[in-house]
Structure 1
Amino acid sequence: AIPCDVTKDGDLDKAATFARSKFGKIDIVVANAGWSLKGNVENLRVNDYRRLWETNVFGVLSTIYATLDHLKKTKGRLVIISSVKSYVALSGDSPYSMSKFAMRALCESLSQELAPDGVSVTHICPGYVATEIRQLDNQGIWHSDWQDPISPRLLISAEQTAKQIVKAISRRQREQVITNYGKLIVLIKRHMPWLLSLLISKFKIKVASKPSPIKD
């Protein structure tokens, strides 16, 4: 392993060079960098969105630029970790959802652009995974005493998620939605978007209405 910050110039090129020298080739790239920032739009500022997009969007793009030539040589597999929230945005979650909607658009474009080179693009859309992402505040500070607000019944383990991702990669799938409720959400969004909007409104489904204090 090699430390890498996707927002720092040169880090990804060094990581790609290391991987190439270590394994002889690069035939699978998983762009997984991301974090979450909560709050209603009126309580946030443009710079808050910009900070998140530096990692969630431009960090993914930088990963692709650093490895694309290698993938073309090996007719490899590019995997972008997105979210079920690339299909549905909730109140208080616009920064994260916007970044994941962007990932879905990126995958659709790249799938067409890279097909002639034999490179597959897989869009991974997990539901709620049991990780520490929800213990980070809006400044990226981890709070060990914060409890995960998501019901355990909705959580899937990182290990189970990884197994489904590996299977999708091996099959060169265009998209893999993970969790049964995630698949249901995507199905309703595609075919009955009005119903999904009705359910969200009726049950007042949302995330944090206010962000943690943000320092300039």
Structure 2
Amino acid sequence: MEREQQGKVALVLGGSRGIGAAIVERLATDGAQVAFTYASSPENAETLRAAIEAKGGTALAVRADSADADQIKAAVDQTLARFGRLDILVVNAGILQRGRIDEVRLEDFDRMVAINIRGVFAALHHAAPHLSDGGRIVTIGSNVAVRIGFSGSSTYAMTKAAVAALVKGAAIDLAPRAITVNNIQPGPTLTDMTSDYVEMVRPLIPLARMGEPREIAGLVAYLVREEAGFVTGASLTADGGLSL
């Protein structure tokens, strides 16, 4: 299946590190020309872009804050201007700020909603008109939409449950154009976002280990293939059995 995405163009929102970077690398390996956004890590973005091009791929790094719908639209526009088309949209950008319901600051709540919900909606809203028929949309949610399990995750869980619901509706809206819309719900995955609680959560996972970004990227790679064309509106949980 390698190079199946040859000739396709992908945009990954939130692609400079962690799961997002693994997704960018996998789509490029599979042959896609990949644009990706970053908000605050230009060095990581440039390193990733250069690594892809050193392997013969094509990548475009775009600075965009997913809390700003205008910047999301600009990222879509820059992708189209550079590559002339859009076939795959992956919305990975998201933030996690923990706090009990009686402690979380309203400004933190507002920023999580702005990025994790409004930003996802804006990405689909601005990209969908330009996606080729038969295109693919994948959002990156979280297994906390299924099982929270820890104090301090109420707001984050709410935002990820909203994404799962949005995907169902978007899948129906875009079905006439054969565009599939799916959501991946990773569990604890080894990234800088989870480094503080690895030792706490690992014993709770039936597979007794954290996930790896490449495993989530592999699931994205499947969902954007032609053979996944009958999968839409789904939320696929990859968490080592944590939410069982």
Q: When the two structures are superposed, what TM-score results if normalisation uses the length of structure 2?
A: 0.65
C-alpha deviation, 1:21, in angstroms: 2.4
- For structure 1, the 5+ residue unaligned runs are 136-145, 189-216
The reply to whether residue 35 of structure 1 matches residue 95 of structure 2 is yes
Larger RCO of the pair (alpha carbons < 8 Å, separation 6+): 1
1:61 to 121, 124, 140: 121
Does the CA-based 8 Å contact 2:101-2:154 persist in structure 1? yes
Matched residues, number: 173
Whole-angstrom CA distance in 1 between matches of 2:89 and 2:112: 21
Whole-angstrom CA distance in 1 between matches of 2:128 and 2:163: 17
Does the CA-based 8 Å contact 1:107-1:123 persist in structure 2? yes
2:142 to 71, 83, 90: 83
Letter in 1 for 2:224: I
1:91-102 to 2 correspondence within 5 Å? 91-102=151-162
C-alpha deviation, 1:67, in angstroms: 0.5
Counterpart position of 1:106: 166
1:196-207 to 2 correspondence within 5 Å? none
Does the CA-based 8 Å contact 1:129-1:157 persist in structure 2? yes
Does the CA-based 8 Å contact 2:143-2:239 persist in structure 1? no
- For structure 2, the 5+ residue unaligned runs are 1-60
Letter in 2 for 1:48: D
Identity of aligned residues (%): 25
Counterpart position of 2:194: 134
Counterpart position of 1:164: 219
Whole-angstrom CA distance in 2 between matches of 1:161 and 1:8: 26
2:202 to 151, 154, 169: 151
C-alpha deviation, 1:3, in angstroms: 1.2
Q: When the two structures are superposed, what TM-score results if normalisation uses the length of structure 1?
A: 0.73
RMSD: 2.0
Larger radius of gyration: 1
Report SS of the residue matched to 1:2.
strand
Where has structure 1 moved over 3 Å in runs of 4 or more? 146-150
Whole-angstrom CA distance in 2 between matches of 1:147 and 1:127: 13
Instruction: From the superposition, tell whether residues 180 and 9 of structure 1 become closer, same or farther in structure 2 (CA, over 3 Å).
Output: closer
Whole-angstrom CA distance in 1 between matches of 2:79 and 2:119: 18
**What do residues 134-182 of structure 1 show as CA deviations (whole Å, max 9, x unaligned)?**
35xxxxxxxxxx5644328331111122112211221143332224415
Instruction: From the superposition, tell whether residues 35 and 181 of structure 1 become closer, same or farther in structure 2 (CA, over 3 Å).
Output: same
Instruction: From the superposition, tell whether residues 85 and 113 of structure 1 become closer, same or farther in structure 2 (CA, over 3 Å).
Output: same
Name the one with the larger strand percent. Answer: 2
